[in-house]
Amino acid sequence: HLTYTAERAAYRNLVIGLKPPETATFLNPYREWIGAQIRADLWGYVSPGDPERAAEYAYRDPRLSHTKNGIYGEIFVAALIALAYVHEEPLKLVEEAARAVPERSRLAEAIRHVVALYRKGLEWEEAVEEILARYGRYHPVHTVNNAAIVVAALLWGEGDFARTITYAVLAGLDTDCNGATAGSVVGLMLGASRLPREWVRPLNDTLATGLSGLGEVRISKLAERTVGCIMASA
């Protein structure tokens, strides 16, 4: 009951006997929405400094439920996170991760446009107004407009954890997803020891999951399991 939009359509299509990639296209008007992009983090986490590997994983996963820019969004975020292990300069990070996205795609155009706004020296508020005007034709949870906001938050946030997340949320649209994605990238750039205590302490190292039989888990234990995945595939 916690599955919605593209993922719900894909599950329904599996039930009626379809297989990927048809599960992503049949009666699925949500196939370029943000659902795949917000599944990207783990592929980046287990691919430190290797955006090509992260992109490969992030291409396999979303074909169940997404197409085109829906897939490209997951590839882009996975590459961002993989590169966050080795880069602390957001502009360089974004530009290098963008190489994983098909150059002529609508997502690639949006990334280039936001980078151009940043290079022109626009203020944050001006950039957000431009992004919302230019990509206002998209649904509020489409991949293209929300990825543009994530890029803007990373660039204008300039590596500051609180500012980056705050900018991602203040811009609107899919606020919880964008704040989480931007925070995931900048958090990895900084490392656990440099995260602001006022953000970390209230979580009490605990994540309440929606997975049957799992319940609450320690965030630190999940990090250890992720490191285990990295070591196992090294």
138 shares a domain with 69: yes
Among 56-60, 64-68, 206-210, name the one with the lowest average pLDDT: 206-210
Provide mean pLDDT across the span 60-85: 98
Q: What is the pLDDT of residues 94-151, one digit of tens each?
A: 999 999 999 999 999 999 999 999 999 999 999 999 999 999 999 999 999 999 999 9
210 shares a domain with 197: no
How many domains, the chain? 2
227 shares a domain with 114: no
Task: Record the tokens describing residue 152, joined without a space.
Answer: 């803007």
Q: What is the mean pLDDT of the chain?
A: 97
Q: What is the pLDDT of residues 23-57, one digit of tens each?
A: 999 999 999 999 999 999 999 999 999 999 999 99
Q: How many other CB atoms sit within 10 Å of the CB of residue 141?
A: 19
150 shares a domain with 42: yes
Q: What is the pTM of this model?
A: 0.96
175 shares a domain with 62: yes
156 shares a domain with 199: yes
DSSP per-residue codes, 72-135: HHHHHHHHHHHHHTT---HHHHHHHHGGGS-TTSHHHHHHHHHHHHHHTT--HHHHHHHHHHHT
120 shares a domain with 95: yes
82 shares a domain with 195: yes
Q: What is the pLDDT of residues 142-170, one digit of tens each?
A: 999 999 999 999 999 999 999 999 999 99
Provide mean pLDDT across the span 78-97: 98
Please give the pLDDT value at position 1. 59
Provide mean pLDDT across the span 74-89: 98
72 shares a domain with 50: yes
36 shares a domain with 17: yes
136 shares a domain with 110: yes
Provide mean pLDDT across the span 169-196: 98
230 shares a domain with 149: no
Expressed as residue numbers, the domain containing 228 is 204-234
Check which CATH number belongs to the domain holding 36 and give it.
Answer: 1.10.4080.10
